[in-house]
Amino acid sequence: MTGGTLTTPWEADALPEYPRPALVRERWLNLNGTWDYGRDERIRVPYPPESALSGIGRHDDRMRYRRVFEIPAGWTGDRVLLHFGAVDQRASVWVNNQRVATHEGGYTAFSVDITDVLRETGSQELVVHAEDRTDVETFPVGKQRAAPGGIFYTAHSGIWQTVWLEPVPATHVSGLDITPDLTGFTVRPHVVGPHTGWEIVVSTPDGEVARTTGDRVDIGEPRLWTPEDPFLYDVTVRVGTDVVRGYAGLRTVGLLPDSEGRPRIALNGRITFLHGPLDQGYWPDGISTAPTDEALRSDLEKAKELGFNFVRKHVKVEPARWYYWADRLGLLVWQDMPSLAMHFDGPQVPEPDPVPEAKARFEAELVAMISQLRSVPSIIGWVPFNEGWGEFDTARIAALVKGMDPTRLVVASSGVNCCFSHPDSGAGDVYDDHTYVGPGVPVVSGGRAIVDGEYGGLGLVLDEHRWPGPPDAYEMCPDSETLTSRYAEVSEALVEIIGATGLSGAVYTQLTDVENEVNGFYTYDRRVLKLDPGVADLNRKAISAGQDS
């Protein structure tokens, strides 16, 4: 059972919003809500069974979900697709007693065409069997643990993102790969079925700005996407009778030398300092699943209000709407790959190499994650490994990621200085040090930018807003005033380090408390900001110190 009565300010609504803002059709049917669970229980989907919001409040290694639905009257003659945002860890899907899909991996979406097993009229039966043994199995798990504590958290299982239906013509778009630059986009539709081409229209609220039947769209008088001005263009794609709507932002990311010749991270050809919090994406009432879309958006709004321009999404993949809000609000994102399970016996104890099945599953889900998120404008970096957790073949994996997406930065191993078993491979675009309380002073050669990928961890316990169990932080403060003062000292040290070393970014631990970790700006229930809101000025000062004027 999760943390008892610790609740957030939002009343759960089973997430009624359209779940895929980057590929929108007008007609769809949300299957979230109350499902049968096991023999005689009821569960609220898509909250994981371990969560309070699910109505179950426990972990089961094996889960059986059942939902009866009807096909809307206007869908006759269309193909019907069944979509799952994510099911952890193994899923087997049955419709009307016919198995239609199996899927492995708890962080990526999957879909199946169920048209041929649907009954002509009346009730349709959907059954999902899920299996999840958390860190016993060889799947990426991030910070999930069967026995949570300290820096590891309550596991989530089964269906934890939106389930939905969508009617499409036989020839239809299944995805859009959009690659931006500073003058336009390359748009490559993925099309199911025979076709003779497509039409792409790019527009703004003021009207159409470009149209093509190829895959290159040039924009006159381009308006670039930045954290200060997160402008997005609407993209409409037509293939035959299928019409889908998405969006895109004009931006580039890379490395540039500063005035002293040091490699620095640059957004749109301008040296830009990345400053933001570590964002774990956990909730006391929903674990991996935010209670509402408003709650999901609110965490990112809080980061902006704190003066940040950046978040590191830490060893978790979020629902598509989280990335949509990052795009809309203007926050740069480093996307971590959820790590394999590891033993944590201290920094001087070598980690064993993952078993072959674990390596294969990690690599397969890494590829699926990048494919799924490659068109998100706010994502500017991929982080395959964190602190050596389940790390293997570092240089090869970094090259794999860069080969899949040469337009973004690759951080081969965040916190490589914390990893005894895997010393710096020299791979990737960024050397990433972790230092608590810090900030640290990374020093590296080889043409990579330097970033302090984790620092801070200053803690404050507020008894009415914390998770059961012993609180944990890298340094405890007795009250909000002391915490604010210490944060100011750490921030001033960061500004000095930026000037002295050419540091390109810094990630503070962390946005909110998470279970027993009490080192957040906000309490775990999101009800209390633990520091003076004036710290936003300190964060803006650090950003200003580290980038072109």
* Least confident stretch, 15-24, 46-55, 84-93, 422-431: 422-431
pLDDT of residue 386: 95
pLDDT of residue 44: 98
Is pTM beyond 0.85? Reply is yes
Is residue 49 a contact partner of residue 128, using CB atoms and an 8 Å limit? Answer: no
In a domain? residue 15: no
User: In sequence order, what DSSP letters do the residues of 100-155 get, joined into one string?
Assistant: EEEEE-SSS-EEEE-GGG--SSS-EEEEEEEE--GGGSSS--TTEESS-BTTBEE-
Domain check: are 226 and 322 in the same one?
Answer: no
Average pLDDT along the chain? 95
Domain check: are 368 and 513 in the same one?
Answer: yes
Residue 443's domain comprises: 254-545
Domain check: are 312 and 434 in the same one?
Answer: yes
Domain check: are 436 and 306 in the same one?
Answer: yes
What is the per-residue pLDDT across 489-529, written as a single tens digit (0 to 9) for each? 999 999 999 999 999 999 999 999 999 999 999 999 999 99
Domain check: are 407 and 473 in the same one?
Answer: yes
In a domain? residue 243: yes
In a domain? residue 358: yes
pLDDT for residue 348 is more than 80: no
Confidence of residue 445 (pLDDT cuts 50, 70, 90): confident
Of 168, 188, 216, which residue constitutes the final position of a domain?
A: 168
pLDDT of residue 3: 46
Domain check: are 323 and 204 in the same one?
Answer: no
pLDDT for residue 204 is more than 50: yes
Mean pLDDT of 462-470: 94
Mean pLDDT of 7-18: 96
What is the per-residue pLDDT across 328-345, written as a single tens digit (0 to 9) for each? 999 999 999 999 998 766
pLDDT of residue 127: 98
User: What angle, rounded to 10 degrees, do the helices at 535-545 and 480-501 form?
Assistant: 0
Domain count, the chain: 3
What is the per-residue pLDDT across 406-418, written as a single tens digit (0 to 9) for each? 999 999 999 998 8
3-state secondary structure of 87: strand
Domain check: are 57 and 92 in the same one?
Answer: yes
In a domain? residue 24: no
In a domain? residue 8: no
Report the CATH number at residue 45. 2.60.120.260
Mean pLDDT of 466-488: 96
Of 206, 224, 249, which residue constitutes the final position of a domain?
A: 249
For residue 40, give every residue at least 6 positions away whose Cβ sits within 8 Å of its Cβ, in sequence order, or none: none
Of 201, 234, 249, which residue constitutes the final position of a domain?
A: 249
Domain check: are 279 and 202 in the same one?
Answer: no
Domain check: are 141 and 262 in the same one?
Answer: no
Peptide bond preceding 439 in cis form (omega within 30 of 0) = yes
Domain check: are 423 and 473 in the same one?
Answer: yes
In a domain? residue 23: no
The dihedrals phi and psi of 498, each to the nearest 5 degrees, come to -60, -45
Identify the DSSP state of 329: H
pLDDT for residue 320 is more than 80: yes
Mean pLDDT of 409-429: 89
Confidence of residue 346 (pLDDT cuts 50, 70, 90): low
Which strand ranges, in their side-by-side order, compose the sheet holding 110-113? 29-30, 163-168, 79-84, 110-113
* Least confident stretch, 156-165, 218-227, 370-379, 438-447: 438-447
Report the CATH number at residue 518. 3.20.20.80
Confidence of residue 130 (pLDDT cuts 50, 70, 90): very high
CA-CA-CA-CA dihedral for 35, 37, 41, 47, to nearest 10:
-70
Report the CATH number at residue 241. 2.60.40.10
Select the more confidently predicted residue: 62 or 444.
62
Mean pLDDT of 123-139: 96
* Least confident stretch, 123-132, 192-201, 413-422, 488-497: 413-422
% of residues, the chain, pLDDT over 70: 97
In a domain? residue 496: yes
pLDDT of residue 91: 98
pLDDT of residue 548: 78
Domain check: are 381 and 324 in the same one?
Answer: yes
In a domain? residue 16: no
Confidence of residue 421 (pLDDT cuts 50, 70, 90): confident
Domain check: are 65 and 194 in the same one?
Answer: no
- Do the strands 144-145 and 153-154 form a parallel or antiparallel pair, or are they unpaired? parallel
pLDDT of residue 419: 77
Confidence of residue 1 (pLDDT cuts 50, 70, 90): very low
